[in-house]
Structure 1
Amino acid sequence: MSTPIVDEAAKVLAEPAAYTDEPRLHAALSELRANTPVSYVDVPGYKPFWAVTKHADVLAVERNSKMFSNWPRPVLMSAESDEQQAAVGIRTLIHMDDPQHRVVRAVAADWFGPKAMRAMDLRITDLAKRYVDRMRDAGGECDFVQQVAVNYPLYVIMSLLGVPESDFPRMLKLTQELLGSDDEEYQRSAVSQEEKVGALLDMFAFFNDLTAARRATPTEDLASTIANARIDGEPLGDIDTVSYYAIIATAGHDTTSGTISGGMRALAENPDQLARLQADMSLLPQATEEMIRWVTPVKAFMRTATADTTVRGVPIAEGDSLLLSYISANRDEEAFDDPFRFDVGREPNKHVAFGFGIHFCLGAALARLEVNRFFAELIPRLTSVELAGEPELIATTFVGGLKHLPIRYSLR
């Protein structure tokens, strides 16, 4: 293999704090797309990887799931966290390749299909109204993330799983600690690396108890489906079962809350687009997709080459890791007209926020429904909105978005 191409700009992808500074992050990613779209990254604390930043290349890697495996490194974490999670034995859907992935994914697939979405629509619409009413009751000013955006999708996904409402605050805290382990506000400790997996172990303990309860007394919820699933006549192993819960609980909550809060910020900062949407609510499906592209709550996924290959002519060795930067792909000038413009009528909008190929997000339809129904309730009632303070983003390299969004508004 030839000497790897290295661009210093790519180091931001292994810097959680860089995701809290969007101008700096996007400047670096724009430089990479223009000059070094496949760049080698070797920074202290992380195992080396190739940064893939162009939309077309992300799609090409996602399409070729035999050449580019999810196992054993689906997410960018520190080398120490890689080792600790391997020791725990985590095996979620994002760790699996076909044929195992296809079979395990099928366990919960019906819960996120068209029939299930039709059945949930009324419930989600009712919840959207409830949380817009809470905005009204807050008196015209709130931290939109903490008072609205994190609670609405949490209620949806926990209800789907069958988790009692009394446990919702606990699950919110655990998901924030788990996905916000690089953020000082959410992490349990800035000192002990071992404590960074504490939230994961606590979540596993919670879902172990839930599994036991649903196996003893099955009910009509997703938790019962997972707890009592059988593959080739055998029940899912304990680790696989709780891993399934964990990925649904976290992915089904934080990604959607990030999109809703980021969408709210985009409307506040682009009043012309808010007015356009208010004048023509038929644009809401396109606006939903644009919010998802704009936020890109899942910042990146990783793949591992199963043989020597190339990406955009760059040699990649067997065993090398690749980081697929979704946030970069969704601002690619070759894939989107004026990609740094928030456009509620953008069409086409071939974003990769949900991934592509066999690992396309299982809960994409649910996320779209939640975002759509929330803004369908809010937009006609919203007469004004503006920022009431500085938005704050989560430090992360995986899933993230706003953690605080102070807004001032008036509602009908």
Structure 2
Amino acid sequence: MTAPTTTEAARTVADPTAYADEKRLHAALTQLRSTAPVSRVEAPGYNPFWAVTKHADIMAVERANDLFTNSPRPVLMTAREEEMQAAVAIKTLIHMDDPEHKKMRAVAMDWFRPKTLKAMKQRIDELAKVHVDRLRDAGGECDFVQVVSTTFPLFVIMSLLGIPESDLPRMLQLTQELVGAQDPELQRTTGIDEQMNALLDMFAYFTDITAQRRANPTDDMASTIANATVDGQPLDDIATVSYYALIATAGHDTTSSTIAGGMRALIDHPDERRRLTDDLGLMPAATEEMIRWVTPVKAFMRTATEDTVLGGTPISAGDSLLLSYVSGNRDEDVFSDPFRFDVSRGNNKHVAFGYGVHFCLGAALARMEISSFFSELLPRLKSVELAGEPELIATTFVGGLKHLPIRYTLD
């Protein structure tokens, strides 16, 4: 097979199907890191942008948050999708820049501080045991994604928000439709209008939650958001439901993808699984390696506010840049043997959570969930193997495995 041209390789980052084909994706990204680390991309249906594939360049952009802003294009979408989203007036933390971003981030910050997360650990450990028991009760063969990894983190985030467990099927449907909007199996329909309706349905759900918490505040994150004020003024309805939508989707799908991808990595690398099982003290390092390996958030976008140079490439004011986290986390200049899964990898400078002022608000919670689940699973897992072909979500934003058929023995 001949290597793709630089233009073809650059267009790969805008192709959802490429993220469901890791061999193809990484071949293109490896080529870009080597020959054109800041590449101009002109893909059909998209407004032009620069693909940034080197770790150092990604970090340079993340550090210069005044020079490279989230607004107006924080996520890669088609030109038509960008128009429709603007019409709906969505504005979450990922759409904001300072000082607005800093003020809005503070609304839920206390829920992700160490003291609060420490209080949550017992509940997370309980949910981890429930889901390992669910795996045991499945009878030795199941789709790990459907049985475990989609529901465990969703139960955790619903506990934080104070949403009743009876609403889990509805929340699962809404989050999967949003994150899977580019995947033929998960999307509501192939029409853009119907995909936007999935977002509007989530907004309607959280509008009801907002009204309930304003009328009868409770001790949960939903009440904190519903009754928050910024600069002495209450959040308007769009800002409130946008906040919920971000917490629900980001708090669920990224962790779900990492747990599923981590499980596959442990199956594909049995020696590493044995190392971790024999020494659970490696779990912090293994957790970081799973996050790097999966990189559930594939990319974010930034826009240059003035003319500048990045990696030797001139960038004009108004140009958009795609920060390819999945490429940065395989950068040969930063990671020794980057395509090796190593549960003891030290000094793991992955960019899966971003960096700087936009560093993931829920990073510590995600780490706790991943660690809790595998700390419960591995001592009880006697054997495990694939029972079919794993399948990845087609996406350009957030995603991972949508099917992981496994066969196993479990205490």
Task: Identify the TM-score tier after normalising by the shorter chain.
Answer: over 0.9
- Counterpart in the other structure of 2:76: 76
Determine the C-alpha separation between the residues in 2 that align with 1:205 and 1:6.
Answer: 44
Q: Distance in 1 between matches of 2:82 and 2:290?
A: 31
CA distance in 2, matches of 1:259, 1:31: 25
Structure 2 partner of 1:228? 227
Alignment of 1:276-355 (within 5 A): 276-355=275-354
Give the Cα separation in 1 of the matches to 2:369 and 2:400: 17
The residue identity in structure 1 corresponding to 2:232 is G
Distance 2:188 2:127 in 1: 31
Task: Give the distance between the partners of 1:310 and 1:180, measured in 2 at CA.
Answer: 35
Alignment of 1:114-125 (within 5 A): 114-125=114-125
Taking only the aligned residue pairs, the percentage that are identical comes to 69
**CA contact 1:293–1:351 (8 Å) conserved in 2:** yes
- Separation (CA, whole Å) in 1 of partners of 2:251 and 2:189: 25
CA contact (8 A) 2:217 2:223 kept: yes
Q: For 1:210, give the aligned amino acid.
A: I
Cα pair 1:228 1:235 within 8 Å, conserved: yes
Distance 1:235 1:360 in 2: 25
Residue in 1 aligned with 2:30? Answer: 30
In the comparison of the two structures, how many residue pairs are matched? 407
Q: Which residue of 1 aligns with 2:19?
A: 19
Secondary structure of the corresponding residue to residue 61 of structure 1: helix
Asked if 2 retains the 8 angstrom alpha-carbon contact of 1:255 and 1:400, the reply is: yes
TM-score of the aligned structures, taking structure 2 as reference length: 0.98
Cα deviation digits, residues 313-369 of structure 1 (max 9, x gap): 101110000000000000000010000000000001000000000000000000000
- 1: CA distance, partners of 2:6 / 2:272: 39
Please tell me whether the aligned partners of residues 6 and 41 of structure 1 are also in contact (alpha carbons under 8 angstroms). Answer: no
SS of equivalent to 2:77: coil
Deviation readout 1:277-332 (Å, 9 max, x if unpaired): 11111101100000000000000000000001110110111000000000000000
- 1:214 and 1:224 in contact (8 A); partners too: yes
- Backbone CA RMSD of aligned residues: 0.9
Map of 2:371 onto structure 1? 372
2:193: which partner in 1?
194
Q: CA deviation at 1:193?
A: 1.6
Q: In the TM superposition, what are the counterparts of 1:74-153 in structure 2 within 5 Å?
A: 74-153=74-153
Determine the structure 1 residue equivalent to 2:180: 180
Moved over 6 A (4+): none
C-alpha displacement of 1:233? 1.1
Opposite residue 392 of structure 1, the aligned amino acid is E
Q: Which amino acid is 2:125 matched to? A: T
Contact 2:6 2:32 in 1 (8 A): no
Instruction: State the AA in 2 paired with 1:154.
Output: L
- C-alpha displacement of 1:8: 2.2
Indicate the SS of the match to 1:241.
helix
Q: Is the 8 A contact 1:90 1:243 kept in 2?
A: yes
Aligned to 1:54: 54
Asked whether the 8 Å contact 2:73–2:303 carries over to 1, the reply is yes
Unaligned runs of at least 5 residues, structure 1:
none
SS at match of 1:407: strand
Q: Distance in 1 between matches of 2:92 and 2:246?
A: 6
1:6 CA drift (Å) = 6.1
Q: Distance in 2 between matches of 1:185 and 1:302?
A: 26
Aligned residue identity for 1:143 = D
Deviation for aligned residue 1:198: 1.0
> What amino acid is the match of 2:239?
D
Q: Which residue in 2 is equivalent to 1:363? A: 362
Amino acid at match of 1:387: L
8 A Cα contact 1:298 1:399, kept in partner = yes
One-letter amino acid matched to 2:87: A
Q: Is the 8 A contact 1:177 1:188 kept in 2?
A: yes
Measure, in 1, the Cα distance between the counterparts of 2:368 and 2:107: 21
Give the Å deviation of 1:7: 2.9
C-alpha deviations, 1:42-73, integer Å up to 9, x for none? 01111110000000100000000000000010
Q: Distance in 1 between matches of 2:126 and 2:308?
A: 51
1:241 maps to 2:251: no
Could you give the per-residue CA deviations for residues 63-112 of structure 1, whole angstroms, max 9, x where no partner exists?
A: 00000000010000111111100000000000000111001000000001
- Partner SS for 1:97: coil
